[in-house]
Structure 1
Amino acid sequence: MRWLFGGLAALIILVIVYVGSAVASLGNLADAVRSGDGAGVIVRTDVKSLTQSLADQIVAAYLERIGQTREIRPSERMLVRAAGLGIADAMIAKMLTPDHLTQLLKTGKLDGVQDLPPIAGLPQLGTIDTKNVLATLGRFRFVEPVEFAVRISDTTDADSYSEIRLHFAGSGWQLAGLVLPSRVARELAATLPVK
């Protein structure tokens, strides 16, 4: 019986450390965003995964847009997806500089960047009170053992909903995804050329 209680206590401690480390990492990321520390934000970001996350959303919105005017064949969908990812990657590379990413997460907008449409309407990561652990945990959603989603929008409405993805990579949790509000993804996709 003692073995059972010891195992249960160890499991509870592991879960607390596991979730607590994610909450602490979110707090450190939010602090870097609030202070405008672009280098600190990039250190806490898996840029490759974040790029892929944004590119997938922009291309999906692009395919949805051209699908409204005509049917897209599966082979065409694959070609458009491949070409669109290349174009979207170039756009996203400009968004993910240390200063631009920090500005986007801090203010919810990004403008005045050459060859990039103005972006506005993203929730601000810095407004989350990460010191209030219970409220912060209410924003967490388990995705898989090495990934949490954290809602940064105040609403769950699809056009306004936004979340970040924290992924455990080696030594800690990193920003690995940003779910854009649908409206923002559509606006970015609208800048891609229609074929």
Structure 2
Amino acid sequence: MRRLIGSVIVLAILAAAYLGSALWSLGALANAVRAGDGAAVIARTDIPSLTQSIADQVVAAYLTRIGQTRQVGSSERMLIRAAGSGVAQAMISKMLTPEHLTEFLKSGKLQGVPDIPQLTGLPRLADLETGDVLAMLQRFRFIEPMEFGFRVDGTAGTEDVSEVRLHFAGTGWKLSGLTLPATVARDLAAALPAK
């Protein structure tokens, strides 16, 4: 019995340290955003994963848009996903400079970026009260053992929800994805070349 209790206590401590390290990393990222420290924000971001995360949402919104006017076959869908992802990634890379990423995570707005429409409603990481552990646990979403999501705005399961995702990379947790509100993904998709 002592061994079982000891094992449960050890597992509880490990789980708390695991989740605590993710919350601490999110807090450090949010503080860098609030301070406007683009270099620190980029250092705490996995840019390739973040780019792919946003590109996937933009291409999905693009497919939905063209699917409203005509039937899109499976082979065309596959081609659009491949080609569209490259075009979307090139567009998104303009959003993910230290200055622009910090700006939109702070204000929820992006403007003045060539070939990208003015955007509002982006996840405002600066608004998260990362010091309130209970509130953060209510926003927490388990994705997989090395990845968590934290809801920033909106209601879970709705089109207006936005979320930041962190994954464990190397020695710590890094921003690896953003779930954009559906309107933002549609606005970005509208900036892609029409087919």
Give the TM-score taking structure 1 as reference length: 0.97
| Alignment length (residue pairs) | 195
Q: What residue identity is the alignment partner of 1:28?
A: A
Q: What residue identity is the alignment partner of 1:34?
A: R
**1:146-188: CA deviation from partner (whole Å, max 9, x where unpaired):** 0101000043363311001110112011000000000000011
CA RMSD of aligned residues (A): 1.0
TM alignment of 1:22-33, pairs within 5 A: 22-33=22-33
d(CA) in 2 for partners of 1:127 and 1:13?
29
d(CA) in 1 for partners of 2:122 and 2:191?
18
**1:27-70: CA deviation from partner (whole Å, max 9, x where unpaired):** 00100000001001011100010000000000000000000000
Indicate the residue corresponding to 1:13 in structure 2: 13
Give the TM-score taking structure 2 as reference length: 0.97
TM alignment of 1:36-47, pairs within 5 A: 36-47=36-47
**1:2-31: CA deviation from partner (whole Å, max 9, x where unpaired):** 111111110010000001001101100100
Structure 2, unpaired ranges of 5+:
none
Greater than 6 Å deviation, 4+ residue runs = none
Query: In the alignment, is residue 105 of structure 1 matched against residue 105 of structure 2?
Result: yes
- Please state whether the residue corresponding to 2:177 is helix, strand or coil: strand
Indicate the residue corresponding to 1:155 in structure 2: 155
Q: What residue identity is the alignment partner of 1:143?
A: I
**Sequence identity (%):** 62
Indicate the residue corresponding to 1:138 in structure 2: 138
- Please state whether the residue corresponding to 1:138 is helix, strand or coil: helix
Contact 2:115 2:191 in 1 (8 A): no
Indicate the residue corresponding to 2:50 in structure 1: 50
TM alignment of 1:60-139, pairs within 5 A: 60-139=60-139
d(CA) in 1 for partners of 2:101 and 2:138?
25
d(CA) in 2 for partners of 1:35 and 1:121?
20
Of stretches 81-90 and 10-19 in structure 1, the one that deviates more from structure 2 is 81-90
